Amino acid sequence: MKQYEVKYVELSDGEKIAYRQCGSGKQNLVLIHGNMSSSVHMQPLMEKLEPYFTIYAPDMRGFGDSSYCKPFDSLEEVGNEIEEFLEIKSVHDPILLGWSTAGGVIMEMAAKQNADIKSIILLSSVGIKGYPLLRKGPDFQPIEGDYLLERDEIAADPIQVKPALDAYAQNDPEYFRTIWNLVIYTNGQPAEEDYKLYLDAILKERCLVDVDYSLVHFNISDEDTPVQKASGHGRLIKCPITIIHGEADMVVPVENAREAKNFFGDQAELHILKGLSHSIITDDVDALAEIIKTAK
C-alpha cells in the first residue's frame, strides 16, 4: 500500500484536521473514512484514482491524526468541519465520497444545498434513518423495540460498544483484528503489513461514543423512527448521488442502500456489488475505482 504524507489544517473552532493529498486531475475528489478507521484506510483507493483526480482524504475530528478538543453530538457537526477544511484548502466543486458513517456526514453536507458540491458517493453508507442500537438483556441478546438513546447507556452496551472502549483503553489491536475479520474482512484480510497500519489507525480513535450517539440520532428521511424524529434533510439534497454497497455487507445491511435509492429516486444511481463486504476497498478496489471514475 502506497503511503501518503500527512498534512494539517487548523479550523476556527480550534480543532486540527489531518489529511492526505495526491493527484493533479481537474476534478476534486474528497474521500472520507468511516468509524473505527482513518484516511489510512483510503490509501489503496487514492493510489488507484490519483491519475484521474486531485484527491483529499481528511481524518474526521477524533480519528487518526486529527485533534479531539471536544466531543460532538451529530454527523452534521462533523460535516461542518469538513466543509471548513475544504474552504481553507480552496477545494471547489468536489465529488464527496463517504464510507459507512461518513456517508451520513456527506449527506448532511449536501443537504445545505451547497452549489459547490458536484455530487456525492455513498460507499457502504449508514442508512437514511441512522443506525439504532437495541438494549441487550441479561442473556446479551437484543431486546426488540427497546432502543438505546443516551450517551451513558450507549457507552455501557455490552456487545457493540463497551468491549471496543475497553480495547481502546488497553491499546489492544487484536480485539479489533478479531472484529474486522468476523464482520468486515469477510472476503479475506489485507496483507499483514497493511493490516498493521490499519490497526494502528483504528486505535487512534477517541470519539466512539460520539459517533455511535450521532448515528443513533441520524434521520434525514421523512419518517419518524422510534429513536429519532425525521429531519427531512434528505429532501434538501439536490446534487447527483451514487450509492455503492456490498451485497454481503454485515455492518450496514444492503437493504439500507435499497431504501436510500427508493428515497432519492432517479436522483440516485445504485450499484450493488455481488458478494462484497463492508470493505469494498479491500474486496475489489479496481471495480470500485471504475464506478467512481464514471460517477456523475
116-173: pLDDT as tens digits: 899 999 999 999 999 999 999 999 999 999 999 999 999 999 999 999 999 999 999 9
Q: Which residues contact 174 (CB under 8 A, 6 or more apart)?
A: none
Q: Which residues contact 128 (CB under 8 A, 6 or more apart)?
A: 107, 219, 220, 221, 234, 256, 259, 260, 263
Q: In this model, does residue 32 exceed pLDDT 90?
A: yes
The H-or-E segment that residue 287 falls in is helix 285-293
* Residue 8 confidence (pLDDT): 98
Q: In this model, does residue 114 exceed pLDDT 80?
A: no
pLDDT in tens, 189-229: 999 999 999 999 999 999 999 999 999 999 999 999 999 99
**What is the assigned CATH class of domain 7-293?**
alpha beta
For residues 250 and 161, the answer to whether their CB atoms sit within 8 Å is no
pLDDT band of residue 296 (cuts 50, 70, 90) is: confident
pLDDT band of residue 113 (cuts 50, 70, 90) is: confident
Percent of the chain surpassing pLDDT 90:
98
* Residue 253 confidence (pLDDT): 98
* Residue 116 confidence (pLDDT): 87
DSSP code, position 37: -
Q: pTM to 2 decimals?
A: 0.97
* Residue 146 confidence (pLDDT): 96
For residues 117 and 28, the answer to whether their CB atoms sit within 8 Å is no
Q: Where are the domains of the chain?
A: 7-293
* Residue 177 confidence (pLDDT): 98
For residues 248 and 186, the answer to whether their CB atoms sit within 8 Å is yes
Q: Which three cell numbers stand for residue 215?
A: 448515528
How far apart (Å, rounded) are the C-alpha atoms in residues 213 and 153?
A: 10
DSSP code, position 89: T
Q: Average the pLDDT over 249-253 and give the result.
A: 98
Q: In this model, does residue 115 exceed pLDDT 80?
A: no
Q: How far is CA 128 from the centre of its chain?
A: 13
Q: Average the pLDDT over 86-106 and give the result.
A: 97
